[in-house]
Amino acid sequence: MTVDSETGTRGRTRKAILDAAIRVLAADPSASLGQIADAADVGRTTLHRYYPDRAELLTSVMQEAGRRLGDAAVRARLDEGTGLDAILRACQTLLQLGDLLTLMFTEVVSIDTCGPEHGFSQSLDDACARGLADGTLDTRLSPGWLQGILWSSLYLGWSELREGTTPPHDVVSQLLLTVRKALAAPGE
Amino acid sequence: MTVDSETGTRGRTRKAILDAAIRVLAADPSASLGQIADAADVGRTTLHRYYPDRAELLTSVMQEAGRRLGDAAVRARLDEGTGLDAILRACQTLLQLGDLLTLMFTEVVSIDTCGPEHGFSQSLDDACARGLADGTLDTRLSPGWLQGILWSSLYLGWSELREGTTPPHDVVSQLLLTVRKALAAPGE
DNA sequence: CCTATCTGGAACATCAGTGTTCCACTGGAT
DNA sequence: ATCCAGTGGAACACTGATGTTCCAGATAGG
């Protein structure tokens, strides 16, 4: 029995609840704890055993978001290559966040509030600055706008994916094509 | 005294409530009727006098959205010029919908449910088809994706506008530039 | 098998939002 | 001055979500 983090049954139950919360809240930000408990295949009592408050559950969702965002940042290797390439890599990696994208976009979870220490925002800022300097990004667009395009396109892509009507590969290729066209410097 | 629609005091009160509802619900989709009444500078009792249900209020918001969307469609003259130009005109016109964009995007109000008779969706579909045929739109992108880009960029633009940190003119120019770059055919 | 742990349901108090009714007040029109 | 439509507040019942407690059944692990 480890001293700190949970193992076995408890750990699995806690994860099931957290996953259900992300899934259900993405579909309906004002979903009740009962709905979340149902989705997790768990009694409402059990949910309260793990997360006494709705607030504590949301906090845990934010922390989980921060963790996955941090992982994404590492996997995207935002500090390598040109700014544009880094951003396109970020696109592909972030798309895998799935429902978390919805939560971040609907501000159930704020990108910056969910744990600034993951350093994702900073890495992305750096990639933008690098791209504007190395001539791969369109200098007529402000850094804030560039990132806005990234996030909103990402959200669009995830919406299509979730819909399920477009094959995943087509979504990814249209997403990358769009972001590249929108953000690339004119001459490029 | 007209027979049908309200005039004078009642008409003004009804409009104040409707406007407040759009404003408040855009900021918080699950806002209480009390908050909306406060924002409209009206007692909660009065709100119920005009809109007996929350449901009826939402229905009226949808109808209002349909009306304004219809107006936008007319003003954008979607059936004139090339497909790309029509879409860029749509961008500028739709940006003026303001908070309604937020409501449509967060699906408090669905674009198609809010009154399909306004014909906006149809006109936009037509403009896309025209653009794909006349060579002004990128044929590598599906019609659904093209419109998705339009809406999500629009939402981004409105977010920046609402924020108030970027001058309106800059928002419009970045928006048009982005949409044009993203949607235009490669050779264009 | 047996025990410690984990679980789900029932019951409960609490609270906020909703929708209703009633009444007193205001301001403008006659 | 006197109507009177329009208004806002107080009070009420009702509902659904929340958080708590308690207990009986299930389950894992020795």
What is the tens place of the pLDDT at every residue in B80-96? 999 999 999 999 999 99
Instruction: Determine whether the distance from the CB of A1 to the nearest atom of strand D is below 7 Å.
Output: no
CATH of the domain at A32: 1.10.10.60
Position with higher pLDDT, A183 vs A1: A183
Residue A36 belongs to domain spanning: 1-52
Nearest to A182 by CA among B171, B140, B153: B153
Q: What's the CA gap between A1 and B13, in Å, rounded?
A: 66
Question: Mutate which of B145, B158, B172 to test chain A, going by most A C-beta atoms within 10 A?
Answer: B145
Amino acid letter, residue B44: R
CATH of the domain at B69: 1.10.357.10
Is pLDDT above 50 for B1?
no
Residue A188 forms part of a structural domain: no
Q: Which residue has the tokens 């009154």?
A: B115
Interface of A with B (CB under 8 A): 29-30, 106, 138, 140-142, 144-145, 148-149, 151-153, 155-156, 159-160, 166, 170, 174, 177-178, 181-182
Average of per-residue pLDDT across A72-101: 96
Sign of CA dihedral A162, A165, A168, A171: negative
Residue B33 forms part of a structural domain: yes
Residue A116 forms part of a structural domain: yes
Question: Using one digit for the tens of pLDDT, what is the confidence trace for A123-167?
Answer: 999 999 999 999 999 999 999 999 999 999 999 999 999 999 999
Q: A14 and A80, same structural domain?
A: no
Q: Extract the tokens encoding B133.
A: 């045929």
Q: What's the CA gap between B31 and A13, in Å, rounded?
A: 33
Q: A45 and A124, same structural domain?
A: no
What was the pLDDT predicted at B187? 78
Whether residue A80 contacts residue A86, with contact meaning beta carbons closer than 8 Å, is answered with: yes
Q: A81 and A39, same structural domain?
A: no
Position with higher pLDDT, A182 vs A115: A182
Find the Å distance, CA of residue B9 to C1' of nucleotide D12.
Answer: 30
Q: Contact B144/A166, CB-based, under 8 Å?
A: yes
Q: B38 and B70, same structural domain?
A: no
Contacts of A106 in chain B (CB under 8 A): 106
Q: A162 and A115, same structural domain?
A: yes
| Overall number of domains in chain B | 2
What was the pLDDT predicted at A10? 85
Q: DSSP code of B53? A: S
Q: What's the CA gap between B153 and B147, in Å, rounded?
A: 10
Instruction: Determine whether the distance from the CB of A33 to the nearest atom of strand D is below 7 Å.
Output: yes
Q: B47 and B68, same structural domain?
A: no
DSSP H or E segment with residue B180:
helix B168-183
Cα dihedral A4/A8/A9/A15 (nearest 10): 70
Q: Extract the tokens encoding A10.
A: 């408890």
Interface of B with A (CB under 8 A): 29-30, 106, 138, 140-142, 144-145, 148-149, 151-153, 155-156, 159-160, 166, 170, 174, 177-178, 181-182
